[in-house]
Amino acid sequence: MVNEGPNQQERDDTSAPESSIPADPTTSTHASVSVRPSVSAHPSVSIHPSVSAHPSVSIHPSVSVYPSSSAHPSALAQPSGLTQPSGSGPEDSVIKVSRRRWAVVLVFSCYSMCNAFQWIQYGSINNIFMKFYGVSAFAIDWLSMCYMITYIPLLFPVAWLLEKFGLRTIAITGSALNCLGAWVKLGSLQPHLFPVTVVGQVICSMAQVFILGMPSRLASVWFGANEVSTACSMAVFGNQLGIALGFLIPPVLVPSISDRDKLAYHISIMFYIIAGVATLLFILVVIVFKEKPKHPPSRAQSLSYALASPDASYLSSIVRLFKNLNFVLLIITYGLNAGSFYSLSTLLNRMVISHYPDEEVNAGRIGLTIIIAGMLGAVISGIWLDRSKTYKETTLVVYIMTLVGMVVYTLTLSLGYLWVVFITAGTMGFFMTGYLPLGFEFAVELTYPESEGMSSGLLNVSAQVFGIIFTISQGQIIDNYGTQPGNIFLCVFLTLGAALTAFIRADLRRQRANKETTENKLPGEEEEESNTSKVPTVVSEDHL
């Protein structure tokens, strides 16, 4: 590929004089054409088949030149026949990050936070809602588990919608459902209206399907190669913050009192606040969200655009993912870790109350400590990945430390010292919750150039399945045998997850794509420090 920049022109002028080209037996030169190596190919100029390349012209190793090929910069010369979408042009070859990206990820984090709050707002004061609605603890647990159940059948339709209609449509739909569910719950402020609150929670759980698969896709589409893991962590950060607020706020707004009328008043305050916030965030999503930036933010994303095919089979993508052994192992290990977190979050109030009666507020604070520590761990993990690119090693270390934290928490929960529980629960949360964005980013690396939404979605399906199994099983163990056997049950599966993580091979395909497109540039070609550069859109199968 001939570089059109001035530096290349100067090198060509110095390396080859303007004298005529030596005659070659295989070269037929038009009499009126004078070929100079310093002349760059204009997109509208075709290369004549009888003209051979001058030795001083550097050819990009990934370019395959055919006699009939035009030198248009968006042409793809690839044996597999993959063609760039017709909507892409020269502007797609510019690598540049958008200032809007921070606003987009912030708005996404906020409405993800709102949805996560609604997931845990019942579980964090499980005993109070049991008293208000006159239902069993298991019925309240199902208000949390419906999030997990709804996700499983809706993942593939929503993932298809994400591929078909893009980020903006999915974001608007998710925030609209989240807003609708919050307002429906306001119709359940009487003890006999428990089915109404179930309907509202199911609508919110449908919104979650449009949210959980977006962090890695959002980060890849909007952020550069050196900040994509940090951006993914920020997107997950909002979800974790919502869970933290879900542990903290409900015990403060809804006290444990016996008068149901007063209890209904306090519950209504919480429901009105969350409905107002959800409405505001829906408006912000409509205003702020865009499908994608004008220019791709990284070479891997530019290559992903080039390889995109409108005729690509949705089912074939799923089949390829399940043929990827490393990704299948990650699906299992991620599900074991995240499922343990879901179970602990749902049952935390019951576990703490069983050892520390009348400590609903402190139970919520312990949950808050777990999530805040986890958010710190997620941010640190994201920054570390952007700097080191050690996905396999970081994931394994964090998984092992999650297991250690869970064992210590299990052994100290019944000691009778709340401050000890705060410390051990926070340590466990730092690693357990901090692991979640690691799994998303590791999945994208292992499956590139497959859809980020699909890989994230399959991880979340695994998390929901194991979350349902662990929540029901641990809940039954706690009811029949106590909290410690229930926590040991989770320790066993976390041990299995850590062992399987060790067998995952670090096949970092996205990093390799970024590296190869950089190395295949012309010798001496300089990169602009302002995050703006030209990228060749002519690709070969080697990049895959």
pLDDT tens-digit map of 119-132: 888 988 888 899 89
- CATH placement of domain 315-508: 1.20.1250.20
Q: Please list the ranges in the chain whose pLDDT falls under 70.
A: 1-93, 96-98, 295, 297-314, 452-453, 514-544
* CATH class of the domain at 98-296: mainly alpha
In terms of Cβ atoms closer than 10 Å to its own Cβ (0-12, 13-18, 19+), residue 108 is buried
CA distance 37 to 58: 10
Q: What percent of the chain has pLDDT over 90?
A: 24
pLDDT of residue 493: 95
C-alpha radius of gyration, the chain, whole number: 28
Dihedral angle sign, alpha carbons of residues 223, 227, 231, 233? positive
Q: Do domains 98-296 and 315-508 have the same CATH topology?
A: yes
CA 544 – CA 189 distance, rounded (Å)? 56
Model confidence over 324-357: pLDDT tens digits? 899 999 999 999 999 999 899 888 888 888 888 8
Give the whole-angstrom CA distance, residue 382 versus residue 379: 5
Instruction: Please tell me the distance from the alpha carbon of residue 425 to that of residue 403, in angstroms, as a whole number.
Output: 12
**Domain ranges (residues) in the chain:** 98-296, 315-508
Q: What is the pLDDT of residue 158?
A: 84
Burial group, residue 359, by CB count within 10 angstroms (0-12, 13-18, 19+): middle
How many residues belong to the chain? 544
Q: How far apart are CA 418 and CA 421, in angstroms?
A: 5
State the Cα–Cα distance between residues 165 and 167, nearest whole angstrom: 7
Q: Which residues contact 440 (CB under 8 A, 6 or more apart)?
A: 215, 216, 232, 236, 456, 459
CA dihedral defined by 214, 220, 225, 229, rounded to 10 degrees? 10
Q: What are the backbone angles phi and psi of residue 499, rounded to the nearest 5°? A: -65, -45
- Per the DSSP assignment, residues forming a β-bridge with 534 are 94
